[in-house]
Structure 1
C-alpha cells in the first residue's frame, strides 16, 4: 500500500462505495455450506461457486498467490488469488492513530485483495490475531463488527489446516439493509489468521464467493 492508511470502515457514504473505496459487509441470509475446490484439465486450481441460479460464477481460476516470500503481503499463510484480484499490504497497521480502522476485536488487518479489477466492489482482507483457538478469535472478530447478528459457525478445512468458518449478517443503517459476510480462521505457529470476504451488497458478495473459496481451499502455512 502506497498510502499511509486506507479507510476500511464498513459504513461509509454510498458515493464512496460507488467508486470502490468501500469495503462493505454483505448479504441477507447466511450460506449453509462452503463449495469445494475442483481441479481443471490443466491442473490450475479453481474453486466452485454457489449452486446454479444464484448468479454466482461457478469457478474462480487461480492467477498467482499472496502471503509467501516475494508476494505483495507478508503473512503467516499463503493462498491462490483469483484472476485480476490485486493484493496490497496495509502500511503500518499497528499505528495507534489508526487503531479504530485497523483493528476489529482481537485482529489487525494486514492485507487486502481488491476485487475491483475483476469487476466487483469488495475485498478479501487478511487479519492476524495472537496465538490461541481459531474459533475464539473469529468469535471476537464478529462480535466487534457493529450490527453483526445471526452468526453461524462450522468446522471446515483451509487447505490442509483445520479451520472455523462463519457466515453472518450485518445491518447497514446507511443503506437500510442487512448484508451477508463470511470469514474463516486458522491457527498457525505465528498466530491466528482470519480471511474475511466483504462486498458492496449481497449480490456483490455472492459473486465473489468463488474467489474466497479459492483462497480457503489453497491456503497453506507460508
Structure 2
C-alpha cells in the first residue's frame, strides 16, 4: 500500500497518545479488511548494505545511538526527547526501554515508524521481554536468536490489538547488547499490510548494525 503523503514535522501531543501507542501517529484510518501478503524474503547483508541510502546512530547523525545502522531510502529520522513533561515522558517509556529516535516511513510512502529504544545495560533478551510485556493487547509472541550485524541479538514477532482499528496487527523488534548500551529497534505500522511492506527497512537496520 503506497501513500503519497507529504513530508511534515511530527509534533507529539497528548491527544494522539493512543495512536502513538498503536505504532503510528497518523489520522488516516481504515477499518476495511486487508488481504494477506507473504512476508518479504530475508535480505542478505551485502544486499542490505547496497540498499542503504544513509546511516543513523553515529555522532553527527540525526540520532546519536550506541550503534549505527543503514537507513532505507526516504525514511526520515528524528531524535526523541521527552523533556520534563510527564505526559510526553510516558509516551517515550515502555517497560525498561526509553525511546530515543524514530524514523518516519511516510516520505517513503508507508504509514509507520522504525523506533529506536535504549535499555541501559540490560541483557538483550531481558530488555526485549520487558518491552513486549509492557505493551497492551499482545498475543502470538515468538522469540528467536539471531544476529544484528556481527553481534548476537534476539528478535521477537507478535501481534497487538488495535482498539481504534478493531483488529490485531503484526509488530516486530530486535534487541542487541552493544558495548555502549542495549538497543531495541522496533517496527510497528498502521496495520499488518503496512508492517509487512516496511519489513525490508527493519531487516536493513539489523543486517547493517554496528556497535559504536
TM-score (norm 1): 0.78
SS of residue matched to 2:194: helix
Question: 2:163 maps to what in 1?
Answer: 173
Runs of 5+ consecutive residues of structure 1 not aligned to the other structure: 20-26, 47-60
Question: 1:39 maps to what in 2?
Answer: 46
Q: Are 1:203 and 2:193 counterparts?
A: yes
Runs of 5+ consecutive residues of structure 2 not aligned to the other structure: 1-8, 30-34
Contact preservation (8 Å) 1:85, 1:117: yes
**Superposed CA RMSD:** 2.9
SS of residue matched to 1:142: helix
Question: 1:90 maps to what in 2?
Answer: 80
Q: CA, structure 1 residues 73+94, in 2 after alignment: closer, same or farther (shift >3 Å)?
A: farther
Tell me how far 1:130 sits from its aligned partner. 1.7
Tell me how far 1:105 sits from its aligned partner. 0.5
Question: 2:111 maps to what in 1?
Answer: 121
Q: Are 1:10 and 2:14 counterparts?
A: no
Instruction: Determine which structure has the larger helix proportion and give its number.
Output: 2
Pairs aligned (count): 195
Q: Are 1:184 and 2:186 counterparts?
A: no
Tell me how far 1:94 sits from its aligned partner. 7.0
Q: CA, structure 1 residues 189+28, in 2 after alignment: closer, same or farther (shift >3 Å)?
A: farther
Tell me how far 1:98 sits from its aligned partner. 2.2
Question: 1:161 maps to what in 2?
Answer: 151
TM-score (norm 2): 0.82
Tell me how far 1:209 sits from its aligned partner. 0.5
